[in-house]
Chains A and B, each alone.
Chain A
């Protein structure tokens, strides 16, 4: 075990994966000599050279298109998109190509590309360095979407992503890249996809969150505990595939659900969770499902903290859910 923050854990895991498998290579903007704008690839260029830590021209469609070609040929490319906000020039390559290669070729041409991308607000990044648009990708058949919230999960999920046979979007909560450290296994301890983590057990209300919304969810649970409300906190970790059983099981236990995400509410991932509970856990619900999310506005610069969900909003929502029944 080593005490690391999330970005250190990602850095170390990338290096370990590259040492183990010569087919693993990295490509993206500023990831080589500069070590990445968040330093996620720091030191890797020096160790593995320009052929395996490839600084590319500034073109996201070029990065993902090239990564697909490499994957078809048998390499295991891990592409970095510098901010999730800049992924859209590659949207066609991801949605029309990467996610559909296995299907449209009848299994002849699987394309296993891992796309790492920092996402989310909280760093004063304004409209274009802050968004959480995971729902676009979760809506696309053929690509997996995972989001760690701890240094250990960052390693475990990234190892699984690199070993997977399918395309994976690995979303990195940049707001908490360095805000905490945790024990990270030194060995290759994988976190399987599709398995949620109960971060805190409780019996009165379930708080569902992922990525950078885990700290406020846990803080809210602590506050609620002081008020005598026992909150369970479930870290989804893997949005596609989703651990539906864990979501349902938690609500069967608590009878109340509060869903927390940074993304805008309308058609956000929380809508899928709410639909799931309505379809499969309706009779366990004692109160209406509540979503604590970003507003249905673009992500603002000066009013970032107004936009972002915080522990206070989660406490308020959970309290109301408990009082409603």
Chain B
């Protein structure tokens, strides 16, 4: 009943969709870098050196697998946990840290909490906190690409909780009606803050929610880089050949807290997390690399040390950057300052001159 039309994708179902073996090591390095960044940032937040952090640990294969199946010209509409996608698309770690710190180099000028980044050069649209809002936007961008006859797809990243949001339903519905080249990539990490997956829906899978909108759904093992890559690649091919959108549910597990403001011990057991970690996507890929004879424990140990050093040094360099200019608070509300904003800035300047405002 529930499986009708739900396509289960085997890791290498189609030979041409298999992850290119010569790129496996590179993908692995990105995953290790993302994990090391997560671990460091959780610690930096506890030390008060960054204000907030939302880790992705457990979702590395899902993110890098999806990212590798895309073209740089495709548009990514992220949620706020897509660090590995950003790194994989070539965003420098330093640029990420500038955003986490909200310093003078931050591309978004210190306007948003950590993790809510965006990078125009990498076609990585800026994130926001409301859940699911990027889904309809990804569909609109795909409609625009269709109109321009650009051979690209848009991909919306979201979690299991977002499948309860208004924009999930509106977005899938629009995508179905207009047959847009959109990939809906749901990282089902089993938790929406404290609520387990079965509190979001009675559906047996999230992927089957596509069916009622006329959209094929796939469930993939999100801990399997190859499976995710194959699924996203197939969805992308389908979209580019005019076949329309696809909903992919990548099953993963959120190893860490929702964010540094969350205490998961209030709602889930250590044993459950430990069990999920048996299926760690990084350990799994490492095993594959070792089996293929292109990796070893020694090389892995060295990579871990190198990456941890790189992460710390990069962060410490970003920490030395000056804070964001207070007067920039008035910029980018509109393309140009309105008379009212000019006045508010002039008042601020005057108070600064009088010593009322702290520089």
What residues of chain A have their CB less than 8 Å away from a CB belonging to chain B? 25, 51, 54, 56-57, 59, 61-62, 64-75, 77, 89, 92-93, 96-97, 100-110, 141-142, 144, 164-166, 194, 240-242, 244
| Contact residues in B for A165 (Cβ distance below 8 Å) | 334-335
A27 to chain B, nearest CB (A): 9
A165 to chain B, nearest CB (A): 4
CB of B135 within 8 A of CB of A241, answer: no
Contact of A109 among B120, B136, B142 (CB under 8 A): B120
In the bound complex, CA of A219 to CA of B109 (Å): 51
Kindly state whether residue B94 has any CB partner on chain A within 8 Å.
no
Report the nearest A residue to B129, measured CB to CB: A96
In the bound complex, CA of A65 to CA of B154 (Å): 14
Can you give 8 contacting A-B residue pairs, CB < 8 Å? A71-B140, A72-B125, A96-B130, A103-B333, A107-B109, A142-B333, A144-B334, A241-B339
CB of A244 within 8 A of CB of B339, answer: yes
Kindly state whether residue B194 has any CB partner on chain A within 8 Å.
no
CB of B137 within 8 A of CB of A72, answer: yes
CB of A102 within 8 A of CB of B140, answer: no
| Contact residues in A for B143 (Cβ distance below 8 Å) | 54, 66, 69-70
**B52-102 contacts to A (CB < 8 Å):** 75, 77
| Contact residues in B for A56 (Cβ distance below 8 Å) | 174, 177
Report the nearest B residue to A112, measured CB to CB: B335
Report the nearest B residue to A244, measured CB to CB: B339
Kindly state whether residue B139 has any CB partner on chain A within 8 Å.
yes
| Contact residues in A for B42 (Cβ distance below 8 Å) | none
In the bound complex, CA of A75 to CA of B133 (Å): 19
**B311-342 contacts to A (CB < 8 Å):** 331-335, 338-340
CB of A61 within 8 A of CB of B166, answer: yes
Q: Tell me whether A241 and B340 are in contact in the complex, defined as CB-CB below 8 angstroms, given that A72-B125, A89-B166 are known contacts.
A: yes
CB of A97 within 8 A of CB of B128, answer: yes
What residues of chain B have their CB less than 8 Å away from a CB belonging to chain A? 75, 77, 106-109, 111-112, 116, 118-120, 125-126, 128-130, 133, 135-145, 147-148, 154, 166-167, 170-171, 173-174, 177, 331-335, 338-340
B130 to chain A, nearest CB (A): 5
CB of B133 within 8 A of CB of A92, answer: yes
- Most chain B CB within 10 A, of A54, A65, A107, is at A65
| Contact residues in B for A242 (Cβ distance below 8 Å) | 340
CB of B126 within 8 A of CB of A101, answer: yes
| Contact residues in A for B142 (Cβ distance below 8 Å) | 69
Known: A105-B108, A108-B120. 14 other contacts (CB 8 A): A25-B147, A59-B174, A68-B140, A69-B136, A73-B141, A77-B140, A97-B130, A102-B335, A104-B126, A104-B128, A105-B120, A108-B108, A142-B333, A144-B334
Contact of A70 among B116, B144, B173, B177 (CB under 8 A): B144
Contact of A110 among B133, B139, B335 (CB under 8 A): B335
CB of B170 within 8 A of CB of A73, answer: no
CB of A97 within 8 A of CB of B133, answer: yes
Contact of A194 among B116, B145, B339 (CB under 8 A): B339
| Contact residues in B for A71 (Cβ distance below 8 Å) | 140
B170 to chain A, nearest CB (A): 4
Report the nearest B residue to A99, measured CB to CB: B333
In the bound complex, CA of A109 to CA of B140 (Å): 15
CB of B340 within 8 A of CB of A68, answer: no
B314 to chain A, nearest CB (A): 20
CB of B173 within 8 A of CB of A57, answer: yes
CB of B126 within 8 A of CB of A105, answer: yes
Contact of A65 among B107, B139, B148 (CB under 8 A): B139
CB of B334 within 8 A of CB of A96, answer: no
CB of A142 within 8 A of CB of B334, answer: yes
| Contact residues in B for A70 (Cβ distance below 8 Å) | 140-141, 143-144
- Most chain A CB within 10 A, of B118, B141, B145, is at B141
CB of B137 within 8 A of CB of A104, answer: no
In the bound complex, CA of A19 to CA of B347 (Å): 44
Contact of B118 among A69, A73, A109, A194 (CB under 8 A): A109
| Contact residues in A for B77 (Cβ distance below 8 Å) | 69
A279 to chain B, nearest CB (A): 11
A296 to chain B, nearest CB (A): 27
Q: Tell me whether A108 and B126 are in contact in the complex, defined as CB-CB below 8 angstroms, given that A59-B174, A93-B136, A102-B333 are known contacts.
A: yes
CB of A244 within 8 A of CB of B340, answer: yes
CB of B135 within 8 A of CB of A102, answer: no
8 tightest A-B CB contacts, nearest first: A69-B140, A65-B136, A66-B140, A73-B144, A62-B170, A69-B141, A165-B335, A106-B108
Report the nearest B residue to A55, measured CB to CB: B177
B54 to chain A, nearest CB (A): 16
| Contact residues in B for A108 (Cβ distance below 8 Å) | 107-108, 118-120, 126
A236 to chain B, nearest CB (A): 14
CB of B334 within 8 A of CB of A100, answer: no
| Contact residues in B for A67 (Cβ distance below 8 Å) | 140
| Contact residues in B for A142 (Cβ distance below 8 Å) | 333-334
B327 to chain A, nearest CB (A): 14
CB of A106 within 8 A of CB of B109, answer: yes
| Contact residues in A for B340 (Cβ distance below 8 Å) | 241-242, 244
CB of A69 within 8 A of CB of B137, answer: yes
CB of B332 within 8 A of CB of A65, answer: no
Report the nearest B residue to A144, measured CB to CB: B334
In the bound complex, CA of A240 to CA of B332 (Å): 16
B151 to chain A, nearest CB (A): 14
- Most chain A CB within 10 A, of B137, B144, B332, is at B137
